[in-house]
Amino acid sequence: MINYRAGTVRNRVGSGAVAALGLIGFATILIAFGQVVGWNATWRAFGVTPLQPPFFDMHVINDYAACAARGVEPYAPRSCSGVNFNIPPTWLWLGRLGIDGADSAWMSVVMIGAAAIVMVMLFCGGPWPNGVLALAALVSPSVMMGVERGNLDLLILTLVGASALIYDERKVARSLAAVGLLSLGIALKLFPMFCVALVARFRGRVFAVACLIAAIGCAFLIATFQYVVLIRANVPTTFILSYGYKAIFLGIDHMLDEAGFSPWQLANTWLPILTTVSVLACALAIAVRGVFNEREFCSIDRSSAGTAFLFGAGIYCGTYLLGTNFIYRLMFLLLCIPQLLDWLIQKSQNAGSIPEASLLATVLGVLWLNGNANGHTTFLLLPQLLNWLLFFFLAAVLISNFLRRIRVSMSSKKGDP
């Protein structure tokens, strides 16, 4: 397969330069508006519902870390803040270093900058129009919500993105370094364990790396299980600015309540699970049909873009199954976009780019439509339907690549050409 990221120097600079300059320009405009009209109005103009104080989520972490250092039980509801502490205890070590809420601003800025640098590096290597599409994803309301909150998912995005850049299945040292970054991410917020989706490549060494990621994730879950239970209890389950397999059912009940009808309590029935199983079954059926009919689509390559796609798709599908997640976690879909853009370039000379183009459009739609243009926290049905569609798309792509690699492996063992 042609690697379109190994083109001319001009191509390698094009998309990354556009994304970088675009981010600098966007940040300049954002800061200028924030100083002139105020930050609340500015964030709402860009489709983000702001919270006070600025970088609210980082404030929560640092406030709880400082409280824990004084002997307060951090997992007790609202013991140190207006919201609960719902992340691994690893972050509480910050309190021992003297970190508190006053450090939230600079820590958030560092995280935002690091995430931006890693994402620009991932987007490098294509023509300048790719940079425009990348920029459209980077400044979407879902991503900007994470920026406004100073959410630690930005740090996890940095670690996962950096591991995709480092990873090379042909080199043991680079593979282990990538696993090391993912392990740090798991210790900080668990869900990088969904990067086990790397198994979709199904080769000897890749399979071993995927198993290692799974083992590290399971070991951390077992070691911190008592905290995982508390974290799960402290995580809000809501349709408000959320995605996940329960979100649409919570939202339907909300709409019924607003219309004056009795809620159906759909989220508490078997319907969400049955719907999820049905969607996954359809994805499996599509993947099996495509593989056995030898109709190749969305074939993930061995580049950093391909690795990033596996990580991003794995995290989206994995977190979707958690029930509900605030939409800033959709920032991990940014990891899918370099591969999606590469597919469009590869398919531009041939017919049959409809699946790849549809998947890219769905990802951009999910990133943009889950945020409200007016910054409202109301339930929106269309984004929820798109979220389900994307869950189906990504599951089908991961399964089809996994089955295709198994078929190739079996053919090789039989000595077929």
Task: For residue range 153-175, list pLDDT tens digits in order.
Answer: 999 999 999 999 999 988 999 99
Task: For residue range 231-252, list pLDDT tens digits in order.
Answer: 988 888 888 889 999 999 998 8
Specify the higher pLDDT residue, 134 or 296.
Answer: 134
What confidence score (pLDDT) does residue 258 get? Answer: 75
Mean per-residue pLDDT for 341-351?
Answer: 73
* 223 CA to centre of own chain: 25
What confidence score (pLDDT) does residue 264 get? Answer: 87
Task: For residue range 191-221, list pLDDT tens digits in order.
Answer: 999 999 999 987 778 889 999 999 999 999 9
Specify the higher pLDDT residue, 376 or 306.
Answer: 306
Is the pLDDT at 7 greater than 60? The verdict is no
Q: Could you give the count of Cα atoms lying within 13 Å of 249 in the half-sphere of its Cβ?
A: 19
Q: What is the mean pLDDT of the chain?
A: 88
Mean per-residue pLDDT for 336-358?
Answer: 79
pTM exceeds 0.85 for this model: yes
Tell me, what amino acid is at 89? Answer: P
Identify the band that residue 255 occupies on the pLDDT scale cut at 50, 70 and 90.
confident
Is the pLDDT at 9 greater than 50? The verdict is no
Is the pLDDT at 85 greater than 80? The verdict is yes
Which range has the worst mean pLDDT, 10-14, 65-69, 124-128? Answer: 10-14
Which range has the worst mean pLDDT, 72-76, 340-344, 349-353, 410-414? Answer: 349-353
Identify the band that residue 377 occupies on the pLDDT scale cut at 50, 70 and 90.
very low
Is the pLDDT at 379 greater than 70? The verdict is no
Specify the higher pLDDT residue, 204 or 322.
Answer: 322
What confidence score (pLDDT) does residue 351 get? Answer: 53
Is the pLDDT at 10 greater than 90? The verdict is no
Is the pLDDT at 127 greater than 80? The verdict is yes
Q: Could you give the count of Cα atoms lying within 13 Å of 115 in the half-sphere of its Cβ?
A: 25
Mean per-residue pLDDT for 166-191?
Answer: 94
Cα angle 346, 197, 386; round to 5: 70
Task: For residue range 24-55, list pLDDT tens digits in order.
Answer: 999 999 999 999 999 999 998 888 988 989 99
Calculate what percentage of the chain has a pLDDT beyond 70.
Answer: 91
Task: For residue range 292-311, list pLDDT tens digits in order.
Answer: 877 777 889 889 999 999 99
Is the pLDDT at 374 greater than 90? The verdict is no
What confidence score (pLDDT) does residue 8 get? Answer: 37
